[in-house]
Every structure is written in structure tokens, then in C-alpha cells.
A and B are shown apart, each in its own frame.
Chain A
Amino acid sequence: MKSDFAIELVDVVKRFGTVAAVDHVSMQIRPREFFALLGPSGCGKTTCLRMIAGFEQPSSGQLLLQGKPLGDIPAFKRNVNTVFQSYALFPHMTVAQNVAFGLEMKGVGRDEIRRRVADALDLVRLPQMADRYPKQMSGGQQQRVALARALVNKPEVLLLDEPLGALDYKLRKEMQIELKQMQQQLGITFIFVTHDQEEALTMSDRICVMSTGHALQVGTPLEIYERPNCKFVADFIGETNFLPGVVTEISGEYATVNVADMSLVGRLGEGVTLGASAWLSVRPEKMQLVDEARANPSALNTNSVTIDSVAYVGSDTRVVVHLGGQRLDVWDENNISTLDPNFYFRAGERASLSFPADNALVLVK
């Protein structure tokens, strides 16, 4: 029976001593999916990957590869391959020998090995480097060799532990695009660990946001960014302003929160109840600043604010405003009016800040 999922984690716990590195995590990764594990340092991403690869055994719970329990099948018998963060290339072997290693271990014939190694090196665009040693290559090239060495085995699932972490910004961007193309072309499930939210958002089909051993939310980049299910996810992904308040009304998909005597309305988040304290989360680029004279002060989510500072940062202008004792970040995409200092707001001036209810989210505190 073929399962609907490439990999399943069922209530997996991994303890090191008393520390639960992975704490009751369940997730289902679909075939041919580009799946990112995203979270801050130490949240258990690597541990999840190592359990799938077979380097660690879960303390409890179960892992399934295409519906079959992995149990205590040793790492060398699992049809998954890993691209290590440090690449872990064999320093005493040439590039070609490195790439051939997995095939040799499986007893593939010589001619086929030669052919597949050549294909793999073509795939990562390093065909002329077959006889070099890892030490003689740049970080980016070593990274490609590590990729070729894993992919040549045609794994069901490829595990990548921060594979781009050691590359400089520009190379990183290039490799992101290349990896994504490669994954689509080969149709292999990728599980990609990163703590770079931008990387996760641009590359993944779905993202699992982790924190202190918990899987907080699994969803598409759009869902994660637009509908975070808790404060941690909203905070970790992108920038956002949090306003503390009390829920005074819930109607349909919206909730009203009383924040410092202002009534602000946002979409209703998971688990929010009437009368409870909550966070109103609103992203800096989802608010508008207008002249007080042109604003309608009685409109929804419209309030008078004081401009604290204005900074030009290339693509947009970042304004800090005071609203009822709270500092808020507001980002205005640059256009003719923001770029004209005679026309735009200055520190100390007053302005009107507004945002549609759909652009704000009410989250449990």
C-alpha cells in the first residue's frame, strides 16, 4: 500500500537527558514536496532530520517512510540521503569518488556508476571538477558536490540541514533558485532545515515553524505569513507590531480588542475568547499614514498618532509612530510623495494611522 505521505512523524518525542529536543511533534510531508523546517537555533530542527535519517532514535512516537514504520532500521538501509551542514565530504577522495561512494555501497555496476556520477556532476554543473579533492574547491562548489553525492542515489527523500548556511549572500540567493529548480525537475521530496525565514518563504511548498521542540504551525508560506496561529509565528515570520488588549466583541470572523481605550478590529485568531486578553498583530507594511486633515477619524481602525522618526531605507520609508503610548513601525513603500521631504511627514508632526480589519490579526496572549 502506497501512503499519501512521503514522511510522517507521529507524536515524536526525543529527549537528551532531561531536555526534550523534540516534544510531541506530528507532521506529514507529501511526496515531491519542498518542505521547510523553520525555527530559531536549538528548536529541534536538526534532531528531527537526524531521526528521519536514522542517526537518532525517537524516545517515543513513530516515524513512517511512505507509510512504513522506520522503527530501528539502521541509517545505512534507509532510502533517504542527507546534505550535511558541514557538507561532510570525504577529504581523501576525489569529487568523483565521493559521488560514487553511495552507488558502490549498493553494489551498482562500474559502468552504471561512471554514467550516473557523470550525470550527477552535470546536474550540479561541476563536470570538469571530477578529479579534484574537496580541499581544492570553494565552499559553493563543495556544497554542490555534497548535493550530487546525495542525489546520485535517487533517494525517496532528501534531507538538507541548512545547506546554504555557509555561503555568502549572493551565492545563497543563486543556490536557492537552483535548488528549487532541481527539486521540481527531479520530483524528489526535500526536507529543508533553515532558520532564515525569507529562505523558507521563497523556496517552500509548505513550512513547519518550530520553537523549543514544538511544531507550532504547518502551512503554505502564504498561510504562515498571513494567518499565523500564534504570537511566536507572527513574530518570527516577517515583522509585526503587537498591541496588547482585551477582547470586547467577537462577530463572525472578526474580533474587537480594546487597546488603551481604542477599539481596534482584526481577524479572529485560533482560540481567542471573549473577555480574554489578546494581542492585536498588524504588520508595518499593512497600515497607512495620511494627513489628519484628509482622514475620517470615525472610520474603522483609524487613529491619530505622533510621528517619532522617519528613515529612508531604499525600497521603503520606515516611520515610527506613537499610538496611545505604544511605539509602532509603519513602512510606506517609496513613491513620489514619500521621497519629497517637503511633502512627507516629519518627526513631531501628527498624522492619521489606519488599517483594514483584514490586515490585522487577534491572537491569544
Chain B
Amino acid sequence: MATLLRKSRALQLLGLMFPGGFWMVVFFLLPLLFIVVLSFLDNERLFTLEGYQRVFDPLYIGIFLQSIWISLLTTIISLLISFPVALFMARLPKGWRDIALFAVMIPFWTNFLVRTYALQFLMRNQGPINLLLQWIGLIDEPLSMLNTPAAVMVGLIYGNLPFMILPVYTSLEKFDWTLLEAAQDLGASAWPAFFRVMLPLTAPGLLSGSILTFVPAIGSYVTAELMGGGKATMIGRVIAGQFEQAQNWTFGSAMSLILMVIVTIFALIYFRLGRGERVAL
């Protein structure tokens, strides 16, 4: 056996791949297969396409589109917030940089659910934000901020911001600032220098951050539930509803798979965009 192992390269590879492969099969491939099978079976365990037919109901298409739209907006706003923050962090002296990095990561230590509840509390009708606005006289009646798509978006942005800041920061920290001086030296004012030199060179970080924000956002359930109230703002909430209250696993599975297809499409777009950037670097 031992000599056989030593001789056969194929066997060696198989041995090395086993732990990872086993993990992938048990925790990823099998559940996926399970969902695929479920999506084609009705309550009597007979083949059906009903799950997929229902997805094309305008009601559910609307929720899918709204989920994509909210996730895209979340990603773009996160990017717009993260870039200046990461830029500021990258320009700090070395010691301060580590402290800033630490500060960005501290929220991770608190449970996501707890943080979302805290945000919900802040935005309540009688919450601190409304009280403050009333106190300084900006509004007379409390603003009802919760249970809207905007509230979901605020929750998503708040919850996922570190996933955007960290990759953007990493790419900015690696950025060679003399390149900006070189651009200026060659006659580029601030904006052309930014768009022609800084943006293309930090794009890999911006893309990673975007995909790391977009994917959790479009699949989000907890945030949609807590910030969106009972309303069907995000598809994640609808899917959960089918598995729990409605007990329609066929439809729930079908929607899950459609969601996966959507995420895969966005991931493919991301890899395509990323490839062009990487060639030269």
C-alpha cells in the first residue's frame, strides 16, 4: 500500500483532495442537490414544475427585481462611503492605521442580530433619532423610518460596511502614491489623475468589496425581517416564509435556485471585470 502510494501520483492527489473534497460534498453539494430535487417535487413527492411557474408571477418577479435593486444601491452607497474612509485610513501614519483598522473591525465582535436590533431601536418612531430631530425643531411629527425599503437598505449598508472598507483599504494601502505624482507631473489635474491612474489600479479591491457586499445583501433575511417589518421587501424573507409559515418547500426551493442563478450571473460579471484589470498587474 505504502509503495503504491509513493508511486502513483493520482493516488497522492486523491489523498490530498479528500478532506477538502469531503467537506465540499457533504456541506455544499449534497444540500444543493437536495434543494434541486425538492424544487421539482410536490407534496405527494411527484414531479412538478409548479414551483418555477409561480416564480414568474409578476408579484414575485417584482420582489426579485426590488431585491436586486436594493442590493445594487446598497453596494454603490457602501462603495461611496467606504472609498473616502479607506482613503483616509490608508493615508494615516502606520500606527494610527492599525488602530483605524481595529476600529472598523470592532463591530464584528457584537452579534449581527444585536447590532440590527440596536439600529432598529435608533430608528424607531420614539427612537433617539426622531427625539433629537424633534428637539432641535426640524420636525413636528416623528418620521416613520422603519418598515420601508430604505430602512432595509440602511440596515444592509450598516451591517456590511466593513466587508467593503477592508478590501478597498487593502488596495489603497498597496497603491503607490508616486504614481499620482507621476500623473500630475505629466499634466493630469486631480480628476484625470484619479480616473486614469488611481481608479484602475484600485479596481480589484473595489470589485471584491462590491461582490462581498452585494451577495450577502441580495440573500439577506434577518435585516429584511427586522428593518422591513413584515413586508416582503427582500426575496430572502419570502423564501424563508415559504419554508416556515407557508410550508411550501417546492416553491421555496425553486426561488432559492433562481436566487443562486442571479448571484452567479453577478459573480461572473465580477470575474470578467476583474480579469481585465489583473492582466497587467
Contacts and interface: CB of A to CB of B under 8 A. Distances in A.
A153 B281 CA distance: 26
Contact of A76 (B179, B184, B280): B184
A153 B188 CA distance: 13
B179 A90 contact: yes
Contacts of A93: 280
Given A75-B181, A88-B181, A102 B201 contact: no
A88 B186 CA distance: 12
Interface string A86-97: 101111110000
A5 interface: no
Interface in A107-157: 133, 135, 149-150, 153
Contacts of A54: 184
A76 B181 contact: no
Contacts of A106: 187
Contacts of A90: 179, 182-183, 197, 201
Interface string B183-201: 1111111001100110011
A88 B280 contact: no
Contacts of B277: 92
Interface residues of A, number: 26
Interface in B225-281: 277, 279-281
B201 A81 contact: no
Contacts of B280: 91-93, 133, 135
Instruction: Determine which residue in B178, B182, B200 has the highest number of CB atoms from chain A within 10 A of its CB, and name it.
Output: B182
Contacts of A105: 183, 186-188, 192
Nearest to B185: A82
Given A86-B178, A88-B179, A76 B189 contact: yes
A83 to B, nearest CB: 10
Nearest to B190: A76
B176 interface: yes
Nearest to B196: A101
Interface of B: 176, 178-179, 181-189, 192-193, 196-197, 200-201, 277, 279-281
Interface of A: 53-55, 74-77, 81-82, 84, 86, 88-93, 101-102, 105-106, 133, 135, 149-150, 153
Given A82-B182, A89-B182, 20 more contacts: A54-B184, A76-B186, A76-B188, A81-B185, A84-B181, A86-B178, A88-B176, A88-B178, A88-B181, A90-B197, A90-B201, A91-B201, A91-B280, A91-B281, A92-B280, A101-B186, A101-B188, A105-B192, A106-B187, A150-B185
9 contacts: A75-B185, A77-B187, A81-B185, A89-B182, A90-B197, A102-B186, A105-B183, A105-B186, A153-B187
